[in-house]
Chains A and B, each alone.
Chain A
Amino acid sequence: LKVRRLRWMKFRVWLYLLPVILVIIVNAILPMVVSYNYAALNLIAGMEPTFEGFGMIYRAISDESFLDALGRNGLFTFLVLIIEVPLGILIAKAIPKRGKLGALCMVLIAIPLVLPWASIGLTWRIMVRTGGSLWTIFRTLGAPYSLGNPTHAFGLALLCDIWHWTPLVALVVSAGYAAMRTEPTEAAMIDRASRWAIFRHVELPALGFPILMAVMLRLMDSLRVYDEPFMILGEGPYQSLEFISTNISSSLDSMRFGYGAAQSLIYSFIAIMAFYIISTVITKGRGMK
């Protein structure tokens, strides 16, 4: 009887997981197989495919523009994390926690999150045009924005990302604040602990899960960044905005399907490794689960 129950338990586990597994098969495993098949071929639309084995992958690794895109994306992700996370926590700490005012603040702050990415692109594109609002501001500040300058383009993409996604960090962390018990903080205040000490030793540990969630979301999404920079400036002057996703889809746009597939395989491998390392560090080796 015990064996039968155990078997039923095992069956139930897979029964519960079945829908997710089915979706994963359609959405991740099949595309990977398709990509893998492509990656071994030198497949250019309209031409006879030739089998290359690992040749395409080798070619992608030694391609300078792909390596540049990787490095650029790494830098972008790093800057996004070190700017957005502290800023978001600071905002969450500063806004009123309760009452109508707090609610109003939260809704206003989170508006960038619910704007379709296409209209964000549209807005920012027009803002930096000659005569646009941001263009006017930059000129008034004495630092005119130039469409042809790669550094400016990168900075603009970063600024847009900060504008768009810092609210996410603030939203998640302020929800954590709202859910936090106030007694430990009050006790620490009575003990005359400094503000910083309270934040560091009382509030920060209590905010563990919200902050982890915000960091993970920003990490995952900034590594696959595509929409906003592309909508604003295309690939930017001198490929200054060519991130991994953009790089892959420009290969696809020029109909080099095999090459694009090889690139996405390499990228997936790197992303898995990066994600594994970072999640191990953040969770102190306990694993994601």
Chain B
Amino acid sequence: MAVARSPSRVRRMVTRALQTVFVIAIVAALLFPIYCIVQMCVGGYKSIWDPLISEFTLDSFIAMGGRQWATGFRNSVIISLANAAFCVLIAIPAAYMFTRVNFRFDNHLFFFTIMQRMLPPGAFIIPVFMIYTGIGLYDTLPGVVLAHSIFNLPLAVWILHGFMKDIPTTVDEAAFVDGYSVWGFWRRVFLPLMMPAIGVTAFFLWMFSWTELILANAVTRNASYPITVQLLLSLGTMTTGPMYKEAAAAGVLSMIPGVVVLFFARRYIARGFLLGGRPGGV
């Protein structure tokens, strides 16, 4: 028996080793540009690419002070959080109705909602600028939040719909038979059940809103620039060395909230899929 098993053990060890090498290679490849940007902001001024960072300086972070980066950061944090909250909040009831009730045009409305995400951002620049100026949302934080829901709201409805589909309607019926009011049902039964899925959705919404550039650029002028637009502006004047180092420093700093959120969201993401996607499958 032991003789018969040994080749398979060797094979398993080889597979294991290959797997480890693969993972290390992938992580290294993914982190390489990140390393480049870090090197760009702490490295010296002599050459663009200096793999070993022979000259270490924090000048670029110091140079950031006094400019508008801090405002950009604050705006970005507010916009991305508000956008995730707003989209989730209005998408939950809509997704609920899409999964629970058949009504006239439901399929068409659902398709139309999702389809919005496919429209090219370039096509929105002019109309959104005009409409938001008309309703007084141009260059305000709520304006950017609303503009980001162009591509985030369809996503929210779609993901939440995907998860809710797998919660059987018997849950609702049992709750109402047990005498829960509509509000009580949402608060005590449905939302707690959906919490991991809401976490997943909110993470994705936050991610897209945190990084988005084009629409934010289209609806802001000065007061409510998020960090991405600040970066874009600094690229425009990137001809001088110190300026791009400053932009790199801002890029590095803007990565930090992302990593923090990622760290905490990771667990939620896995639990969210425990709910949907029919685990086990067979």
Contact = CB atoms under 8 A, between A and B. Distances in A.
Interface of A: 9-10, 13, 16-17, 19-21, 23-24, 26-28, 30-32, 34-35, 38, 90-91, 94-96, 103, 105-127, 129, 131-133, 135-136, 163, 167, 171-172, 174-176, 178-181, 183-184, 202-203, 205-210, 212-213, 216-217, 220-221, 223-224, 226-227, 231, 244-249, 252, 257, 260-261, 263-264, 267-268, 271-272, 275-276, 287-289
Contacts of B171: none
Nearest to A212: B162
B44 to A, nearest CB: 13
> DSSP class of B's interface residues: helix, strand, loop or mixed?
helix
A133 B251 contact: no
A180 B235 CA distance: 44
A126 B244 contact: yes
A36 to B, nearest CB: 10
B93 A19 contact: yes
Interface in B115-166: 115-128, 130-131, 135, 146-147, 149-150, 153, 155, 157-159, 161-162
B40 interface: yes
Interface in B80-115: 89-91, 93-94, 96-98, 101, 103, 106-107, 109-115
B214 interface: yes
A119 B122 CA distance: 20
A257 B126 contact: yes
Interface of B: 19, 22-23, 26-27, 29-34, 36-37, 39-40, 47-49, 51, 89-91, 93-94, 96-98, 101, 103, 106-107, 109-128, 130-131, 135, 146-147, 149-150, 153, 155, 157-159, 161-162, 200, 207, 210-214, 227-229, 231-232, 235, 238, 244, 247-248, 250-251, 254-255, 257-259, 261-263, 266, 269-282
A124 B33 contact: yes
19 contacts: A16-B97, A23-B90, A34-B127, A95-B23, A105-B27, A111-B31, A114-B257, A116-B210, A116-B227, A116-B251, A118-B229, A118-B231, A123-B251, A179-B270, A184-B280, A208-B281, A212-B162, A271-B118, A272-B118
Closest 7 CB pairs of A and B: A114-B258, A206-B281, A119-B251, A264-B123, A209-B277, A31-B127, A118-B231
A260 B120 CA distance: 11
Contacts of A28: 112, 116, 119, 150
A22 B254 CA distance: 33
A268 B120 CA distance: 8
A89 to B, nearest CB: 13
